[in-house]
Amino acid sequence: MPGRVPPSARRVLAEFVESVGADAVVLIWTKTRRGYTTTHEATFGNEYACKGALETVLDDWTSPLEIEEEEEDHGDTGSQGE
């Protein structure tokens, strides 16, 4: 874990791991002071599992919207005459 992790963040991680039986947890938060925002993180578990979880989330958040949603709205225009 880079930098100092506040005891409250460690408690949140420990409680979460215990309650859900997690193998790896990544906690990310931001702080804004005087108009300057910093990002902080705390991790628990295998480094590769944490990185894999972050990559999965990044892929999910950056993937384009599914084309299927658009097809559902316009897909049955040919069946109106039946």
Q: Which helix (H) or strand (E) covers residue 25, if one does?
A: strand 24-33
Query: Is residue 44 within 8 Å of residue 25, measured between CB atoms?
Result: yes
pLDDT exceeds cutoff 50 at 1? no
Counts for the chain of helices (H) and strands (E), in that order? 3, 2
Residue 81 falls within a domain, yes or no?
no
Number of domains the chain is built from: 1
Amino acid 56: pLDDT: 93
Range of the domain at 15: 7-62
Residue 20 reports pLDDT greater than 50: yes
pLDDT tens-digit readout, 27-76: 888 999 999 999 988 888 889 999 999 999 999 888 776 655 555 555 55
Judged against a pLDDT cut of 70, whether residue 4 lies above it is answered with yes
Three-class secondary structure assignment of 26-62: EEEEEEEECCEEEEEEEEEECHHHHHHHHHHHHHHHH
pLDDT reported for residue 11 = 86
